[in-house]
Structure 1
Amino acid sequence: MALIFPRLAHNFIKNGYFPTDQATLERVVTALDVAGNELRILDPCCGEGAALHRVGEALAECGAAVQTCGVEFDAERAWHAKTVLDLAIHADIQDVVVAPRSMGLLFLNPPYGDAVADRAQTGDKRPDRLEKIFFRRTFQSLAFGGVLVLIVPYYVLDAEFAGLLARNFDRLRFHMAPEQQFKQCVVFGVRRRSDRPEPRTVSALIAAGKGEALEQVLPECWTAEPYAVPEIAGGEGHFHAVRIDAAQLAAEVARLHPHTLWPQFRIHFGAMKGAHRPPLTEMGRWHLALALAAGQAHGIVTSAGGRTLLIKGDTYKDKVRSVELAESSDGTVSETIILTDRFVPVIRGIDFTPGPGFGSVVTIQ
């Protein structure tokens, strides 16, 4: 299926979704490079998947194998993203598990606006911005040394957001997007271990958030040191939804080979049915109990006289009570009660023999 180009994606603008425009996207990819052979990148608000697909293409052109992972809340956009990304989940980001430090690049263009206010809360505290909520929820998926591409309205960069960025990222650079319909800016960064923020970096981001850097437009050709996406070691990492709807489950089952879902399928069910051999000696009650407990006594059986039963075997544990009396030298009598476990085999059946007893339940014990 062809990608929905960003210039056409305005038809999908709803629920705070503002897709990355083509001009901004093409300038972003010129600032990226690779620092490994196998990369994993994430867009937690991937929309129809066009932006992350383009980023993955650009990194692949640098010689790396790239796995693209996306999450989208809107069903229509999510199912389109499944056709262009390696892994795409239709879910709320709050219901998705992403392993910490499992991604080499985080492409984050979150929903814009205020979160829904809690009517029960008191005080003058305003509801938090969606951009901050999504950033806090997802930035820890980046590995140390991983690259952040953050696209938000520039006025969201207040003191709180600037401090959060500066505490967790190095090489922070602010640029205005070439398309200014939504007053977007692009912030690049490289994740580091959380530390005290550099005051000059915080001040620069706050000033940019006040509109004092509107002339710093993202260049068409990146001339500074590129942001190299690192390779992620340690397997595939965790990327899954804690709840999945029936449509996605059916799609995953159809996509994956059954033996991949259960590698031992052939071992348990692939053996050819052979002729049953009788035991060497007559089975005792213990053998019968084991056979019943293992579910080996079941099905339709017919006696030599023609009686037909549908049987199901079972085993339950009973206790056998015995009493021992002992007399001491002084004539005192003591009583000892002993309870011994005993496994009792039981076969219950439904009589399928035509006649007056048809349908009756019988117990063999």
Structure 2
Amino acid sequence: MALIFPRLARNFVKNGYYPTDQATLERIVAALDVAGNELRILDPCCGEGAALHQVREALTGCGAAVQAFGVEFDAERAWHAKSVLDLAIHADIQDVVLTPGSMGLLFLNPPYGDVVADRAQTGDKGPDRLEKIFFRRTFQTLAFGGVLVLIVPYYVLDAEFAGLLARNFDRIRFHMAPEQQFKQCVVFGVRRRSDRPESRTVSALIAAGKGEACNQVLPECWTDEPYAVPEIAGGEGRFHAVRIDAAQLAAEVARLHAHSLWPQFRTHFGVTKGAHRPPLTAMGRWHLALALAAGHAHGIVTAGSGRTLLIKGDTYKDKVRSVELSESPDGTVSETVILTDRFVPVIRGIDFTPGPGFGSIVTIQ
């Protein structure tokens, strides 16, 4: 499905939302390639889905089948993302279950700013940055060899953030975005197993965070080795919210309608609407128990005397206790307690007979 407003959607800022501008996005796409036939890519702050949609289209043009997954906290943007991505969730990222190592590309342009400080906390450390929180929460969704595209204000790259990046990624490249309204930089990397970070990489990122690399603008034509998005082997992984609202539930039921049981509901359950035929012979207690357990003994019944009850049958399991005594040759007496399961039918009803007993609960056992 084509984007409804690809450029207009990127031109507003709301609640810390700084969408990726078109010029930066086009240069990022130029640095990407594919290394497989079936790819999965994730944007955990996908906004209206325009950026990840364009990345998917570019990778598809390289000959791969690409699934695009997104998460967005804002309802209006999330519902638009649902129309342009394969699967988008309207939820807080903290409420989303993401399988580690399930994605080949992580496109992360997180909210910018400080977390609201906890006035009750002690210590000298100030509030954490949203950029770091989102990065820690999502970078492990990348498979080893997966590609990171991180878009943050350059001044966020302090010693802590630089160490975290260098410890978990190879081929780290820092570039300033061509559009500098929000002082954004673009950091590329390839995930590796966590190891001791190279001091040169850490120093370079810290220097960039201090503004010493502002002349390294993301090139319009990528001439270095491209960042190839790998194919992820084995399973689809988990991608779902732990809490879901009614609107999203309804949308998911509609989306999965063709694969659900409900189109065949009448085939499987319509038999209960048929007329009940009387048994050929009088029912015994076991037959009654089966009828009760199956839910067939229910409804309004009227006795010959005129008494009327609304009944519902059921069964429950009881235990019958018996004791056996045995005597050994030496005269010792031993006692064995035996508990035997027994299914007990029971009918409960509401007395609808006019009179003093109207509304009382009746139990037939």
Specify the TM-score bucket, using the shorter chain as the normaliser: 0.7 to 0.9
1: CA distance, partners of 2:334 / 2:37: 81
Check conservation: 1:4, 1:48, Cα contact below 8 A: no
1: CA distance, partners of 2:10 / 2:327: 96
Cα-to-partner distance string for 1:166-216 (whole Å, 9 max, x where unaligned): 111111111111111111111111111111112222222122112221111
1: CA distance, partners of 2:243 / 2:47: 20
For 2:62, give the aligned amino acid: C
CA separation of 1:335/1:110 partners in 2, compared to 1, >3 Å: closer, same or farther?
closer
Q: Secondary structure at the match of 1:42?
A: strand
Higher mean displacement: 341-350 or 266-275: 266-275
Higher mean displacement: 175-184 or 299-308: 299-308
Check conservation: 1:44, 1:72, Cα contact below 8 A: yes
2: CA distance, partners of 1:16 / 1:130: 10
Aligned to 1:231: 231
Alpha-carbon offset, residue 40 of structure 1: 1.0
2: CA distance, partners of 1:248 / 1:215: 45
CA separation of 1:360/1:162 partners in 2, compared to 1, >3 Å: closer, same or farther?
closer
1: CA distance, partners of 2:261 / 2:356: 49
Root-mean-square deviation (CA, aligned residues, Å) is 3.3
Aligned to 1:163: 163
2: CA distance, partners of 1:326 / 1:37: 74
Check conservation: 1:3, 1:84, Cα contact below 8 A: no
Aligned to 1:151: 151
For 2:167, give the aligned amino acid: R
Higher mean displacement: 287-296 or 71-80: 287-296
Q: Secondary structure at the match of 2:349?
A: strand
1:95 aligns with 2:95: yes
Aligned to 1:188: 188
2: CA distance, partners of 1:325 / 1:272: 50
Q: Secondary structure at the match of 1:283?
A: coil
Cα-to-partner distance string for 1:139-158 (whole Å, 9 max, x where unaligned): 00001111100111111112
Alpha-carbon offset, residue 122 of structure 1: 1.8
1:129-144 to structure 2, matched below 5 A, reads 129-144=129-144
Check conservation: 1:43, 1:71, Cα contact below 8 A: yes
Aligned to 2:11: 10
- TM-score after normalising by structure 1: 0.86
Q: Secondary structure at the match of 1:175?
A: strand
Alpha-carbon offset, residue 321 of structure 1: 7.2
Check conservation: 2:176, 2:186, Cα contact below 8 A: yes
Q: Which runs of 5+ in 2 are unaligned?
A: none
Alpha-carbon offset, residue 304 of structure 1: 7.3
1: CA distance, partners of 2:182 / 2:120: 32
Alpha-carbon offset, residue 37 of structure 1: 1.4
Check conservation: 2:9, 2:48, Cα contact below 8 A: no
Check conservation: 1:289, 1:315, Cα contact below 8 A: yes
Check conservation: 2:257, 2:263, Cα contact below 8 A: no
Aligned to 2:349: 349
CA separation of 1:210/1:295 partners in 2, compared to 1, >3 Å: closer, same or farther?
same
Q: Secondary structure at the match of 1:243?
A: coil
Indicate the percent of aligned positions where both proteins have the same amino acid. Answer: 87
Check conservation: 1:109, 1:152, Cα contact below 8 A: yes
For 1:93, give the aligned amino acid: I
Alpha-carbon offset, residue 31 of structure 1: 0.6
2: CA distance, partners of 1:307 / 1:196: 84
2: CA distance, partners of 1:299 / 1:342: 26
Higher mean displacement: 296-305 or 179-188: 296-305
Check conservation: 2:167, 2:196, Cα contact below 8 A: yes
- Count how many residue pairs are aligned between Structure 1 and Structure 2: 362
Higher mean displacement: 305-314 or 166-175: 305-314
Check conservation: 2:46, 2:71, Cα contact below 8 A: yes
- TM-score after normalising by structure 2: 0.86
2: CA distance, partners of 1:208 / 1:353: 86
Alpha-carbon offset, residue 93 of structure 1: 0.7
Alpha-carbon offset, residue 253 of structure 1: 2.1
CA separation of 1:341/1:144 partners in 2, compared to 1, >3 Å: closer, same or farther?
closer
Aligned to 2:49: 49
CA separation of 1:146/1:278 partners in 2, compared to 1, >3 Å: closer, same or farther?
same
